[in-house]
Amino acid sequence: MFRYQYITSDQLTGFDKYKYSAVDTNPISVYVMQHVWNKVVQIVPLWIAPNTLTFSGFLLIIVNYILLCYYDWDYSASGIYNQHIPNWIWISAALGNFFAYALDSIDGKHARRTQSSSPLGELFDHGLDSWTASIFPLSLFSIFGCHSGEAGLTPVKMFLVTSVVLFTFMLSHWEKYNTGVLFLPWAYDISQLSMTVVYILTAIVGVETFHKPVFPHVYMHDFLITFLVGCSLLIALPQTVYNIAIAYRQKTLLKSSIYEGLLPLFSPTILFILLTVWTIFSPCKILDQQPRLFLWMVGVLFSNVTCRVIICQMSNTRSEALHWHLYPLALVVGLAVSGYLGTLEELTFCAVTFFATAAHIHYGVCVGKQLSEHFHIYVFSLKKREMF
């Protein structure tokens, strides 16, 4: 694969000075799940590399997603009159989701247990998390279905829910970019346990249960949207602002001005605006035509933007104002909404999605190799590289 040095020399120097700092105040995590994971990690063989656990959890999420893509590409299989998703898929999704949650929770513990903690491991973990943050809702949407009427989620609602989830994920890393401390979000453990329970319930009672009103004109997906938006606006955002305000009062903020502190939010905000413009003004209604593929593209672009912020945050270097992906995306969106692409809009969209996915995978592989060589370690092995 063509190698490119994505990480600058200044960022490599910053990585050499990096020290992990995190605070977990979630009662579910502190008083319940941490005790569970401390027991679980003891059964992991000492020869397994922590990143292998991380990547295995990621693969479980991808496998679940691919299965749902096969049975429910356009989110219509769970419609009230069109149920074609086998029941075992929901059992598989529940098991896959929970085991991925477990692996993601014990990888850091296993790294400390094997004395193999490194900035590469943290970046690998959080980088994959930035991608799975979008895949979780994309898989969950298959329960509710995408169809007309009150009982279904419209593609626009799916886009907004996905955007809120990604915005909430970005908040914790923007917070660390300014404070130097990762305040682990409360929503993570709650969401993982909730999704596992929802998949189990779906396997037991069937998807048709979620298409019946809980109250007149109020459906389960309404609770989902309210819960996600509420957690983001009423818990995550105020908590982030509060922690940054505390750091400001204690004079421990890492950034010297409001502009510098807000830099990581510029690219995701513009990305959201561009994609929203495309969904609203698309002549071929691209979101309606390709809801799953469009939301996949949203997640991939967001993940790439977030990974670069995480690297700047970990290396204590300045975040870029505008991600380079925004320039070709702005061009394509402009040509699409103005009608210049005509019948080629959907084909162009597919090409953009493929390019964004390939570029993101290339970025991840190259960054992993660059950091593994810099720290003289292997990504998926506990052996040390020879120093020359």
Which single residue is written with the structure tokens 């040095």?
A: 5
CA separation (Å) from 25 to 185, 189, 249? 8, 11, 21
Q: What pTM, to 2 d.p., does this model score?
A: 0.93
Token duo for residue 213: 């009103």
Give 302-351 pLDDT, tens digit per residue: 999 999 999 999 999 999 999 999 999 999 999 999 999 999 999 999 99
| DSSP assignment of 118-142 | -HHHHHHHHHHHHHHHHHHHHHHHH
Separation of alpha carbons 11 and 338, rounded Å: 40
Question: Is residue 27 packed enough to be buried (19+ CB in 10 Å), middle (13-18) or exposed (0-12)?
Answer: exposed
Q: Which among 196, 79, 213 is positioned nearest to 221, based on CA atoms?
A: 213
| Ranges of the chain with pLDDT below 70 | 1-2, 79-83, 147-152, 387-388
| pLDDT score at 77 | 76
Residues near 2 by beta carbon (within 8 Å), at least 6 away in sequence = 362
CB atoms near residue 59 (< 10 Å): 14
Separation of alpha carbons 228 and 134, rounded Å: 13
| pLDDT score at 126 | 95
Sorted by where each begins, the domain ranges of the chain are 9-374
Token duo for residue 243: 């922690």
| pLDDT score at 150 | 58
Torsion of CA 174, 177, 181, 185, to 10 degrees: 10
Tell me the one-letter amino acid at 116: S
CA separation (Å) from 343 to 274, 287, 346? 20, 15, 7
| pLDDT score at 112 | 94
Strand partners, 341: none
Separation of alpha carbons 81 and 92, rounded Å: 23
Token duo for residue 242: 């509060």
| pLDDT score at 62 | 97
